[in-house]
Structure 1
Amino acid sequence: MILLTGGAGFIGSNFVLDWFSQTDETIINLDKLTYAGNLQNLVSLNEDTRHVFVQGDIGDRERVSELIVQYRPRAVINMAAESHVDRSILGPETFIQTNIVGTFRLLEAVHDYWKTLDASSKKEFRFLHVSTDEVYGSLNKNAPAFTETHRYQPSSPYSASKASSDHLVNAYHRTFGLPTLITNCSNNYGPYQFPEKLIPLMITNALAGKPLPVYGDGKQIRDWLYVTDHCSALRRVLEAGEPGDIYNIGGWNEKPNIEIVRTICALLEELSGSPSNYSYLDLITHVKDRPGHDTRYAIDARKIERVLNWKPGETFETGIRKTVQWYLDHQEWVTNVKTGAYREWIEKNYSEQRS
């Protein structure tokens, strides 16, 4: 079995669902259930004994140690993180506590466990740390894409906290020999993404007839990765990655934000029809740019393709169409997330399973 942290979030819940579509191996899912953690994403697994949910914090070293000793996982995948740049600007401390202190305490618990394993189990064990391309900072328009050896130059409290966690993971490999893996991914999108991020925010606001806020001129460029492609890459890295190594995971889909918004507007009009008295494009509203806004991210994903024979299965065109259609088909999910009704559902259905 494996221990997954942050498995009720956007990427985490997609990873759990994707994992069970490929294997019967048990997942111990440790999640703090902050605002972005949502067990409704995993409701289809309510009766599935392969999925063991535990509410808890990676910063609680004693609790994490108890879980590891109890279940003796062959691998730990760390997805638990605060991940929204705007929130990190308004309140950095939570990001420091979760992404740096939490990762440190998780590493300590894992290292203590790993030391007790026999030689064969030590060699096979893996600690996979899921990180972001934002640790590399910003690129000029014509600069080469980020490789795994690119210098770390984080711009926001969020990316600085993730860079710090990456360095800690590397240190535990170099100093103690812990068999770690690090992945740095580009911007994810797809089903179950909390509607504060660009793509679900634009979809849900447009459907509600609300403004579509675009920072500055909207020409900031990101590389977009469909979440299920990210999940398949993580499985591949866990399966065949070299301990101590780093793998960039990207979608080969560089797009300016304003193009993303316009594409969403066009797809909504195609898939659900136009509003009667305006166009979705009319809702685009340019707002003051955020402090320290990175100009461009771009992932060079040739290493993972060359070394591990992985590449994304979705183009942006296929992935964004699937995403828009998913939100059109799951508007009740969006309503529950925004109103907090899903938290009441969690209390009702999972209170007895909490430790």
Structure 2
Amino acid sequence: MLILELAGVLAGPQVGQFFAELGATVVKVEPPAGDVTRTWKTAAEAPDTDVSAYFSCANWGKESVVLDLTTPAGLAAVHRLAARADIVLASYKPGDAEKLGVDYAALRQLNPELIYGHLTGYGPAAKRAGYDAVLQAETGFMHLNGLPGQAPQKMPVALIDLLAAHQLKEGLLTALYRRACSGQGALVQVSLLDSALASLANQAATWLVTGRDPQPLGSGHPSIVPYGTVYRAADGIQLILAVGADRQFRQLCEALGRAAWAAEARFATNEARVAHRAALEALLHGRIGELPGAELLAELERRAVPAGAVRTVGEALSHESAQAMLLPPAAGFAHPGLRTVAFRSPQWPVAAALPAPPRLGPLPVE
């Protein structure tokens, strides 16, 4: 399978790497200056490389070709690639692909079975460019992601881009199945806006059902207690609980040596615990602060009470449970990578290793 990637930044390239991990050939078409994320470097990165950490998060397993689509030669080269591609990934503002001659209508004339995935910020009729941080603000995520009375907070990853990437994967896989049945290509359109709104889930349903706007609770949960709040144990370990059932709460109280709490009317049911959130949280903060975190987590696991330590990114990726998600270092790139494919099946293999994120450079074109 040949994937032609005309998309840049994160959402489209994430989809490209997804297919590369599943064995597809992915040709990434870049402008002469390269994908802009090649220049998005932290202060700790080497200044003389065109493979930034950000670029590497979404571009393993690809070939890079530099083409100027505003020139006849560049456009002709892309048309040759599109004529034999299975999927084209694009992330142009509405109208820009048409100006360049790489829109779905133009490319399907060359390849009727082509599947064309188009990412936009606000849909095919809105020319406004989409930026993850702005979409986080406009769709309610920043409002919810903060502490009561404090400033809204952006997510620490480009969450809306990643949600849109997942929507596009689903659409493209559906289109591939449809093509296998009918032989017909398809246009699959995904916007950051729709992807974000679709992912508001229970927070959206709260407003739709009650008419009340969900409010920020820090890491707490609006309808489950205790769930998500961070506690600090006596040894400094920070941990969270995810107690979604009354049985689990009874086990938590026994593990804390406070079985009587579960019998109190104000804490006996989840509905009661939500109503008496502040009182219960104060008790939990106080008691957990008296206990060693590692021992408490082990006891909670033994009792099947959902809980976990708060880890740094480095701690999470260094943990034994994360090793299967890492791509091994490859020639020209001494660092491991992170997989985008998180499912497994005995019916087909996922690449054990991939070529490194490509340096910016031309690919010979027929």
Q: Fold-level match, TM-score > 0.5?
A: no
- Hey, which of these two has a bigger chunk of helix by percent? 1
Bigger Cα Rg = 2
> For the superposition of Structure 1 and Structure 2, which TM-score range results when normalised by the shorter chain?
0.3 to 0.5
Q: What's the TM-score once normalised by structure 1's chain length?
A: 0.39
